[in-house]
């Protein structure tokens, strides 16, 4: 049983590495949109009293997350075409990931925040993000820094903290082109 588990883990490690290499190959050409889940943050849930304007009331990047964000930035600089724009959720962990990785203050987009509970509001939120993606036609890459939950709500795929999902608009939704895992 232990041998089977080891083989399965090795398979997923190789598959993840291949997916990451394929993702970098896409980004080298530019013109792509990346949904980037914020780097590692402390805790698992924001407090009920979260105030979007006060970082002290939110989950924030851990020391490991800050290190991960620096690694993200270095890899984007070394392996991808120019980053044309960086847009972020207004949550501090996303803003900090963007600032550390891309060394610039990102544009803020409320629609990249955590998914809203109200169905109609969630549909508007998704539509606003899809519009950003559909309207992009740059030669560099567009980076949208957001939350794993938001990526799931918008793209229909799970992402971990510190994972990039490369997408393109397709019909009324998104098509996932590739992924990059930052450890």
Whether the pLDDT of residue 129 is over 70: the answer is yes
CATH architecture under which domain 2-181 falls: 3-Layer(aba) Sandwich (3.40)
Q: Which ranges of 30-156 would DSSP assign to H, the alpha helix?
A: 63-79, 92-102, 119-135, 148-155
The pLDDT value given to residue 21: 87
Provide CB contacts within 8 A for 33, sequence distance 6+: 133, 136, 141, 142, 144, 166, 167, 168
The pLDDT value given to residue 172: 87
Under 8 Å between Cβ of 51 and 33: no
The pLDDT value given to residue 48: 85
The pLDDT value given to residue 150: 97
Kindly report, residue by residue over 20-48, the tens digit of the pLDDT. 788 999 999 999 999 999 999 999 888 88
Whether the pLDDT of residue 2 is over 60: the answer is no
The pLDDT value given to residue 8: 38
Q: Mean pLDDT, the chain, as a whole number?
A: 90
Across the chain, the runs of DSSP E, i.e. the strands, are: 33-37, 83-88, 107-108, 141-146, 163-170, 173-181
Give the integer Cα–Cα distance in Å for 106 and 142: 11
* pTM (two decimals): 0.89
Per-residue confidence at 83, pLDDT binned at 50, 70, 90?
Answer: very high
Whether the pLDDT of residue 86 is over 70: the answer is yes
Q: Where are the domains of the chain?
A: 2-181
């Amino acid at each position: 049983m232990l041998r089977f588990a080891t083989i399965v883990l090795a398979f997923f490690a190789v598959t993840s590495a291949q997916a990451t290499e394929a993702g970098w190959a896409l980004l080298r050409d530019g013109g792509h949109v990346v949904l980037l889940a914020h780097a590692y943050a402390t805790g698992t849930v924001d407090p009920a009293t979260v105030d979007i304007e006060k970082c002290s009331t939110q989950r924030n990047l851990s020391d490991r997350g800050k290190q991960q964000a620096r690694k993200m930035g270095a890899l984007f600089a070394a392996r991808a075409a120019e980053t044309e724009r960086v847009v972020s959720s207004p949550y501090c962990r996303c803003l900090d990931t963007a600032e550390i990785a891309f060394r610039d203050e990102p544009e803020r987009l409320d629609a990249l925040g955590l998914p809203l509970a109200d169905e109609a509001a969630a549909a508007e939120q998704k539509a606003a993000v899809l519009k950003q993606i559909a309207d992009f036609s740059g030669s560099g890459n567009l980076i949208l820094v957001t939350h794993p939950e938001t990526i799931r709500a918008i793209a229909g795929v799970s992402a971990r903290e510190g994972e990039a999902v490369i997408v393109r608009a397709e019909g009324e939704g998104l098509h996932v082109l590739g992924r990059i895992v930052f450890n």
